[in-house]
Amino acid sequence: RETKKTIHIGFSQAMSSDNWRKEMEKSMQVQASLYPRVELEIKSANNNVKSQIEQIKDFVEAQVDVLIVSPIKSKPVTTAIENALKAGIPTIVIDRKIESNNYTAYIGANNVDIGEDAAKYILSGIREESTVVQITGDIASSPAKERQLGFESVLKHSKKVKLLATIHGDWEKPSIKAPLNKLLDSVNPDYIFAHNDRMAIGGWEVLQQHNIQNQVKIIGVDGLYGPNGGIQYVKDEILLATILYPTGGAEAIDLAVKIVNGEFVNKNNTLNTVVIDSVNVDLMQNQFNKLVEQQNDIEGQQEVIDEQVRAYQSQNSMIKLMIGL
Ligand code: FRU
């Protein structure tokens, strides 16, 4: 009997602490389970650039068939990825970019578009002059740089919306609370645009402290479903809107398999985004519920198959014992 070679995919994840990353990993695992030959190994760098560089080296040494990396920061991870490619390992960059073109494929949404969409959304909803405070993610990671670029490029051409201030966060809530708290002593914005929903909720908590949570409209990014996800916050009218930032986990696995099979893949693969607000939030929630049901079905079926394989294997060894093999 011919045994087909397994496809070893190594994924170096920036961190696994937040739900967006957990969702990315889950969708990768579910997608990987659809390919019998794929073995997916996930290592999380816990937001530590040095560990991420080490992990990439380890995967190169292990000679994985495909490496997937979601870089913590763009610049410091660039050389590690270039070296992986030099060592002959096809490398997919996901979500956050590196500062070079030396990778096999990139997959992620267009973050400049996300920034532009946020600004256009504000512009389309106002009658008179309005003001906004921007809260960025870690500016050393490409999504923050690009969201800021897109947002400001639209506002530059508009006389109706004034950008009062930009606070630089690190993607997590605690990083923005003190600076926003201080800022709100002197300014009174109509809008807050935060580069992700976690910081957006941090913003809302600070607004509550100032008792102005009903006066300031908040727009976030990510649009996760489930409890503490952006979709629920839009439904609860805590966020005015959120912009969907798909994780691309499933698509990255498909790309990896295509690369191993020698099929053509595009170098840059752009995922779609959409603004989620009160108009379409129910529709989006329904779509995600269906998707989650499907994922759970697949996982359930996988368990049944695993169980059958185990039963088969133990019967097989029993028979071998009985016939003295
Ligand atoms: C998750 C996250 C998201 C954000 C993305 C940008 O770790 O912070 O909230 O959209 O990373 O890379």
| Nearest CA among 284, 283, 279, 285 for reference residue 121 | 279
pLDDT of the residue at 171? 98
Residue 16 CB contacts under 8 Å (≥ 6 apart), including other chains? 22, 25, 44, 46
Q: Ligand 1 mean position to 14 CA, how many Å?
A: 10
The CB of 44 under 6 Å from ligand 1? The reply is no
Ligand 1 atom nearest to 172, measured from its CA? 8
Which amino acid, one-letter code, is at 127? Answer: R
DSSP 257: H
Whole-prediction pTM: 0.92
The CB of 171 under 6 Å from ligand 1? The reply is yes
Q: Ligand 1 mean position to 96 CA, how many Å?
A: 9
Q: Ligand 1 mean position to 301 CA, how many Å?
A: 31
- Give me the long-range contacts of 264-267 (CB less than 8 A, separation at least 24): 265/104, 265/105, 266/105, 267/104, 267/105, 267/106
Q: Ligand 1 mean position to 196 CA, how many Å?
A: 7
Element (H, E) at 12: strand 7-13
pLDDT at 325 over 70: no
Give the HSE-up count for residue 102: Cα atoms under 13 Å, Cβ half-sphere.
Answer: 16
Q: Ligand 1 mean position to 15 CA, how many Å?
A: 10
Sign of the CA dihedral with 154 first, then 203, 283, and 34 last: positive
Q: How far apart are CA 136 and CA 147, in angstroms?
A: 8
pLDDT at 3 over 60: no
pLDDT tens-place string over residues 220-240? 999 999 999 999 999 999 999
pLDDT at 207 over 70: yes
Beta strands in 245-297 (DSSP E): 268-271, 275-277
Q: Ligand 1 mean position to 129 CA, how many Å?
A: 31
Read off the pLDDT of each residue in 271-293 and give the average, rounded to a whole number. 93
Place of tokens 């045994």: 3
pLDDT of the residue at 116? 98
DSSP track, 299-324: HHHHHHHHHHHHHHHHHHHHHHHHTT
Instruction: List phi, psi (to 5°) of 145.
Output: -60, -45
pLDDT at 55 over 60: yes
Residue 50: pLDDT band with limits 50, 70, 90: very high
Pocket probe for ligand 1: among 15, 47, 97, 196, the residue whose CB has the most ligand atoms within 8 Å is: 196
The CB of 143 under 6 Å from ligand 1? The reply is yes
The CB of 95 under 6 Å from ligand 1? The reply is yes
Here the tokens at position 296 are 């759970």
pLDDT tens-place string over residues 82-138? 999 999 999 999 999 999 999 999 999 999 999 999 999 999 999 899 999 999 999
